[in-house]
Amino acid sequence: MRCIKDIKEDLKLVKNKYQESSIFGLSTNRGIHALLCYRIANYFCKYKVPLTSLFLTRLIQILYSIDIDYRAEIEGGIVIIHGVELVISSDAKIHKGTIIYHQVTWVLKEMV
């Protein structure tokens, strides 16, 4: 399942960058929490369960002030550092190895 593979890649990058164990990162890192909810929401979106996707997106907005649209295309192996005020739109395409800092608005459209 792609969702689980991406989560493992996210944890691996956090471990390599911060020398944190996967358990520690998963339990304390807000960026990992946001990405985890995004990945689950994106999974449900692909299987046409938009209400669950919307709920998970709103949960992260309320808890952490991080807004990641569940329709964005985010590969595994991403790190969000202090993601308060982070916005990633539905048009965003983020590739493996990206490190995203706080107060970032990420809106990308493919150039035609």
- pLDDT confidence tier of residue 112, bands split at 50, 70 and 90: very low
How far, in Å, CA of 17 to CA of 56, rounded? Answer: 27
Instruction: Check: CB of residue 103 under 8 Å from CB of residue 41.
Output: no
Q: Which tens digits make up the pLDDT trace of 13-51?
A: 888 877 777 777 777 788 889 999 999 999 999 999 989
pLDDT at 108 over 80: no
Distance CA 90, CA 24 (A): 29
Return d(Cα 100, Cα 16) in angstroms, integer.
Answer: 16
Whole-prediction pTM value? 0.83
Q: Bigger pLDDT: 38 or 104?
A: 38
* Interval 59-103: pLDDT, tens: 999 999 999 999 999 999 888 887 788 889 888 899 998 888 877
